Every structure is written in structure tokens, then in C-alpha cells.
Amino acid sequence: MKKWIIGIYCLVLNLVVQAQTGDLQPLNRVYAVTHAFIVPKPGMLLTDATIVVRDGVIEAIGNQVSIPVDAQIIDADSMYVYAGFIDALSEAGIKKQEEEQGARGRGRAATPPDNSPLTNTKSGVTPEIEVASQLDPSASDLGAMRKLGFTTLNIVPEGRMIPGMSAAVELHGSQANEMILKANSGLYTQFRGAENRKYPGTTIAVMSKWRDFYKNAEAAMHHETMYAEDPTGLPRPSYDAATQAMYPVIKKEVPVIFETPDILSMYRAMDVQKDLGFNIVLANVKEGYLFTDVIKSNQVPLILSLDLPKKMEEEKKGDAKKERGGMEKGDDRKEKPKMEKKDQPDDPETAQLKAKQKAEVEKREKQAATLTQAGIPFSFGSKGARNSEIKANLNRMIKAGLTEEQALASLTTEPAKLLKLDRQLGTLEKGKIANLLVSTGPYFDEKTEVRYVFVDGSKYEYESKPKPKPGSNDASAQKSALGTWEYTIDVPNQSVEGKMIFSMDGREIKGEISNASSGDETKPLNNVTVSGTVMTFDMDYDMGGNSMNLQYELNLDGDNLDGQVMVGSFGTFKVKGKRISKPN
């Protein structure tokens, strides 16, 4: 995986650098977005309205707004304007943390085991860590989230049991500290054991350590308080950063954001909370519909996951086929002893198992709607979800019963309230921070694209995505693409090289791509289509949990190809290639 990061990261980093050394500076920070459909808050719609932002703050909004003379005007006729989305649980922008190389592989430890006394840090208890220290403002997933319409992310640091304090981060700025809107928005914690075979390793040890650590922190706080009032006669406190970081939590000024992606972890988080008494938020919730009674009676704030399991399609080829081993008579394809039967109906057992699986997927899709029906409010968090799927997942939830209004609220007003930033964020009102999302239509419509995003009143503009040419995918056209190709992508100051391999899989063409630094490791290409001499495909690239989609469009000419690849919002770059071997 690391080699891929180096390969594509270089490509992307170059593009980011490009953007920054771009020569255009904004003229001023005053904008008027006019003639738009404006949704100041969920459930309210202004038609043909205007919103004016100045120096990062909303100056005016309404139908009768007079446009200031120094405003840059954006005619947003038939576009929709929403308050910028707030992601209540994100891991975007976090630099991957170097972990101590522990013993790997079976057998004896490769390095002699470390039996020095266990510190809080070694145990994974690091509440003193702040997001600012781990945030990389140039990380591409920040930009990717912004392109979806998010303006504020509640980012959590990376770590083990208690990785540190989360922070609300505005998606604009080149220095980490500039971007922090609110540090210490919550204490992030998860059921993840320490590295290097250290205590606590398992869930039960994490729960035990939580109680130990918290109680000792309470005692330390008491000690420090007494000592500050009157030190005489008392031993002096040991001012431990990790312990001190807990004081706001103990005082209930900062909530604990507990990541609980399944029903059992929710019970366990609440068990710890009941023992210790801190304020709790349950985050990355996927099975909340099994916990409604407890959530309701304890009024627990929730952050639902934007991730959903794959939708179960009715596949023609796929699970239904009965694979056969052994050789078929006269079959000289010794490489592939298996033959796939298509369109075979499932036996009753498999049909029943699939039905149960499908019902489970549907329950997850319906989670948001179920909670709303139970009168439980929630925010959304993107941690663990692929960027490219967020909008599609929201639409699946809407199809399963969540109203668009509720979806919008969970992306704006609810997280603003959760983060105690509702005086500045969540709705479009005079005086609030100028975080706007401008889309070509109602946000949840499939064809709608995000055209502008304003963060702290600074404008970001996005061109519309070129649509992939619909392919006829006829066999002769496909044949011209088959084989192994060497390619080069021209990026300023650099070029990315690698191989692409296209082969037939039944009646469909499939492709894989590798780059020079990843060696033989390949990634699959999606939607490979050949129409005449034009081949298009796209590829997903995950970096730190957020993903980008690279779109290729190539012309085939004998054993040569040339074309372009579009890399997110950074633009398109030339691709050249040569076939080096044909398929057998």
C-alpha cells in the first residue's frame, strides 16, 4: 500500500503545489450570490434570493437584499444554496502516525521485547494530543470533502485507546492552527488496544484501563485543586499532561466521543459511562436501531456513520453460479479448470441466507429513518466511509425513509449543536460564519453537482465532471485494447509511469493498473468501456480512508494510446502509452 501512496501522492502533491503557486489571488472577500434558491435552514426555502458574505461572515440574506458595490457577483440562477455541511466525525487530513515497529509474523519476537515500565503513552492513553499537531493542511482528502460540500470537519486524531482531543476544523487555510475553529471539541476514544503487545490489548482491558485512568485523574484533579488553594503539608502533585487533559472531561465541559460501530460496543461504552459519569457522544453508529431505548432514556447524542454495506444486487453472474472444478473434456485451457454457469437459480439454503443478508443491509440503510421515527436526533460523520459513496449512501438512506430535510439537518444544524458551534454554524443567518454550499440543483438529486463552496467566506469553484462516453463495448473494439501497456502521465516536474493490463473476463473487459514504484502490485480499474477507438475507465484511489476518483479517457491507435486523466479538482493531464505485449 505504501508504494501506491508514494506513486499517486507524488502526482497529487504536484497538483496541489500547482494550485498554490497559481498566480491568481482573490480580489476581495465580498461576494453576492444572487437569484438562487436558498435553504437557510432545513425546511425553509427562499426563491430567487440573494446572500451576501463579507470577510468571512454572512452580511445579509433574503429576497430584498441590496448588493454592496464592492461585492463580486455570482449569478446563481436555478442553483441551490445551503449552509456548508458539517462532518461530525472525520479522520481527513490526519498524517499517518509512525508506529513503533513491533514484532511481526509468527514465531519469536523479532526484536527483544520491551519490558520497561508501562507509560500512558505506551498504553495508548494520549488525551493530551491535539488535532493541530497531526493535521496536514495540504492533504487531498480535505479538498475532497470540501468538494462534496463540507466546510467544517470535526477531526479526530489517530491513535489507540484514547488518541486525543478532536477539533472542529474549517476547510480553508494553509497552516493547521489557522484552520482550527474549535480545539478540544471532544475527547475521542475507541476500543482499540495498545500496540506492541502492551496492556491494554483487548476490549476488556481498555474498559478497565479507562476506569483506572479516570479515577486517578479525578483524584489528581482534587489534589491539584487543594494544592493550589493551600500547598502546605501536602506532597506536590505530579503534573502529568495526559491526566491534566482529562480535567475538562471530568468537569463535563468536554464530552467523550466514543466510537461504537456496532451494538455491543455501544453497550460497552455506556457501561463505562455509567461507572464514571462523563458526558458521552456515541459516534460512527451503524446499529443504533437496536439501542433506541437506551439512547432515548439517556438522551445520548449520536453521530451516525455515512458508511453503508454494499448494496446486494440481483447479479446474473456472481453468487448464483455453481463453480465446478476439474477439467472439462476437450478443454485445453489448463489455466482455468473452473467453468461458470450463469443464470443458475440459488438453492433454497443460499436463497434464505441471501435474504437474511439483504434484510440486514436494509436495516442499516433504514437506521437514520428508524431513529428519526423514535424521536432521536443525530449528526452524520464520514469516518470510515468512502468519499465517493457519501452522496449515494445519503440517497440510499433517503430512499429507505429519511426525509431530505432530516438529512440536511443531520449535516448542518444537528452537528452545529453537538459541537456547541450553533451560534456560528449550521444555518444561513446574518452574523454566522460564511460557510456556503452552492449546487446546480437540489443537493440530493443524482445529477446535481457542487459548483461553489465558500469556507470562511473564501470561494472555491468546481467545474462540471465530464461524463464518460457511453461505450458500445463491441468485441472488436475491446480486442484492440487487450494486452499489457506501458504508460506515462505528464505531471509538471515529474512523470508517473507504470503498466496497464487489459483482459477479457467472460464477455466483459477488465483492467488493472500498476505504477513503477508499486512493482507488481496492481489496482483494479472500474467501468472499462471501449467505444470505437476510445477507451474510458476510472479508478479509485484511497488515501487515509478518503478516496479520489481518477478518470481516464484514452484514444487507441494500434499499439499506441494517448489521452488524458482527470484527477479530482486538480485538472487533467496527458497520458501516453505503448502496448508491450498482446494477450495469449
Partner 1 sequence: MNYKNSISIALLLAACLLQGNVKAQLMSKAVKGTFALTHATIHTITKGDIQDGTVVIQDGKIQAVGAGIATPAGAQVIDCTGKEIYPGLIDAGTHLGLSEVSSVSLTEDYNEIGDLIPEMQALTAVNPNSAAIPVTRVNGVTTVLTMPSGGRFPGTAALIDLNGYTPDQMYAGFKVVVLNWPSSGGFGRFDRRSPEDRKKAEEKALKDLNAYWDQAKEFAALDAAAKKSGQPRKTDYNPAMEALMPVVNGEASLLIEVNKDKDILSALRWIKEKKAKAILGGVSEGWRVADSIAAAGIPVLVGPVIDLPTRPSDRYDAPYANPGKLKAAGVKIAIRTMQTENVRNLPYHAGFAAAYGLGKEEALKAVTIYPAEIFGVADQLGSIEKGKRADLIVTDGDPFETKTNIEKVFIQGWEVPMDSRHIQLYNEFLDRQPGLKK
Partner 2 sequence: MKQLFSLIFILSASITLSWSQPSKGSLLIKNGTVLTVTKGTLTNSDVLIVDGIIKKIGKNISAPKGVEVIDATGLYVMPGIIDAHSHIGIDVVNEATNPVTADVWVGDALDPMDVSIYRALAGGTTTSHAMHGSANVIGGQCETIKHRFGSTNPNDLRMDGAPRTIKFALGENPMRVHGEGNGIIPRTRMGVEEVIRRAFSEAQAYQAKWDAYNKDKMKNPRALAPEYSRRLETLADILSGKVMIHCHSYRADEILMLMNVCKDFGVKKICFQHVNEGFKVAPELANFGAYASVFADWWAYKFEVYYSTAYNAAILTRNGVVTSINSDSPDLIRHLYHEAAKTQHYGGLSDDEALSLITINPAKQLGVEDRIGSLEEGKEGDVAIFRNHPLSVYAVPVRTIIDGVVYFDIDKDPSDIRVSIDPDNLPTFQQYTEEDRCMDGVFEYLFENR
Contact between 171 and 179 under an 8 Å Cβ cutoff? The reply is yes
Among 52-60, 165-173, 326-334, 494-502, which window interacts with partner 1 (CB under 8 A)?
Answer: 326-334
Is 392 near partner 2 (CB under 8 A)? no
Please classify residue 300 by burial: count the beta carbons closer than 10 Å to its beta carbon, then call 0-12 exposed, 13-18 middle and 19+ buried. buried
Going across the sheet that includes 180-190, the strands are 85-90, 150-155, 164-170, 180-190, 256-259, 280-285, 302-305, 379-381
Is 470 near partner 2 (CB under 8 A)? no
Which DSSP symbol is given to 517?
Answer: G
Could you tell me which of 300, 250, 302 has the C-alpha nearest to residue 270?
300
466 vs 450: CA distance, rounded Å: 14
Contact between 252 and 281 under an 8 Å Cβ cutoff? The reply is no
Which one of partner 2, partner 1, none interacts with residue 327, CB within 5 to 8 A by kind? partner 1
* Binds partner 1 (CB under 8 A): choice among 107, 117, 326, 431: 326
Among 108-116, 330-338, 374-382, 489-497, which window interacts with partner 1 (CB under 8 A)?
Answer: 330-338
* Residue whose CB is less far from partner 2, 354 or 469: 354
- Nine cell digits for residue 457: 467566506
Contact between 73 and 473 under an 8 Å Cβ cutoff? The reply is no
Is 267 near partner 2 (CB under 8 A)? yes
Residues with Cβ within 8 Å of 570's Cβ and at least 6 positions away in sequence, in order, are 12, 15, 16, 18, 19
Which one of partner 2, partner 1, none interacts with residue 360, CB within 5 to 8 A by kind? partner 2
End-to-end CA, the chain: 30
* Residue whose CB is less far from partner 2, 136 or 340: 340
CB of 520 to partner 1, least distance (A): 14
Is 318 near partner 1 (CB under 8 A)? no
3-state helix, strand, coil in the chain (%, to 5): 25, 30, 40
CB of 359 to partner 2, least distance (A): 8
Is 353 near partner 2 (CB under 8 A)? yes
Residues in region 86-115 near partner 2 by CB under 8 A: 99, 102-109, 112-113, 115
295 vs 281: CA distance, rounded Å: 10
* Binds partner 2 (CB under 8 A): choice among 28, 63, 119, 352: 352
178 vs 185: CA distance, rounded Å: 16
531 vs 526: CA distance, rounded Å: 15
Residues with Cβ within 8 Å of 370's Cβ and at least 6 positions away in sequence, in order, are 288, 289, 292, 401
* Residue whose CB is less far from partner 1, 321 or 576: 321
What are the C-alpha distances in Å from 98 to residues 95, 136, 176, 242? 9, 15, 19, 20
Is 264 near partner 2 (CB under 8 A)? yes
Which DSSP symbol is given to 342?
Answer: P
Per-residue contact flags (x/-) with partner 1 for residues 335 to 374, judged by CB under 8 A: xxxx----------x---x---------------------
CB of 30 to partner 2, least distance (A): 49
Contact between 368 and 379 under an 8 Å Cβ cutoff? The reply is no
Is 309 near partner 1 (CB under 8 A)? no
Is 319 near partner 2 (CB under 8 A)? yes
478 vs 25: CA distance, rounded Å: 46
Which one of partner 1, partner 2, none interacts with residue 339, CB within 5 to 8 A by kind? none
CB of 344 to partner 1, least distance (A): 13
The beta strand positions in 76-179, using DSSP E, are 80-83, 85-90, 150-155, 164-170
* Residue whose CB is less far from partner 1, 219 or 353: 353
Q: Name the phi and psi angles at 381, rounded to 5.
A: -130, 140
Among 52-60, 213-221, 252-260, 480-488, which window interacts with partner 2 (CB under 8 A)?
Answer: 213-221
* Residue whose CB is less far from partner 2, 312 or 501: 312
Is 107 near partner 1 (CB under 8 A)? no
CB of 528 to partner 2, least distance (A): 24
CB of 264 to partner 1, least distance (A): 16
CB of 329 to partner 1, least distance (A): 8
* Residue whose CB is less far from partner 1, 327 or 580: 327
- Nine cell digits for residue 121: 503513552
* Binds partner 2 (CB under 8 A): choice among 117, 235, 431, 470: 235
Q: Give the torsion sign (CA, 136, 139, 144, 146).
A: positive
* Residue whose CB is less far from partner 2, 197 or 465: 197
Which one of partner 1, partner 2, none interacts with residue 193, CB within 5 to 8 A by kind? partner 2
Number of residues that bind partner 2 (CB under 8 A): 63
Is 234 near partner 2 (CB under 8 A)? yes
Residues with Cβ within 8 Å of 408's Cβ and at least 6 positions away in sequence, in order, are 39, 42, 82, 443
Which one of partner 2, partner 1, none interacts with residue 336, CB within 5 to 8 A by kind? partner 1
CA 143, chain centre distance (Å) = 11
Footprint on this chain of partner 2 (rule: CB under 8 A): 99, 102-109, 112-113, 115, 192-205, 207-208, 211-212, 215-216, 219, 223, 226, 233-235, 263-264, 267-268, 271, 274-277, 290, 294, 309-310, 319, 349-350, 352-354, 356-357, 359-361, 364
Query: Which residues of the chain form contacts with partner 1 (CB under 8 A)?
Result: 322-327, 329, 334-338, 349, 353
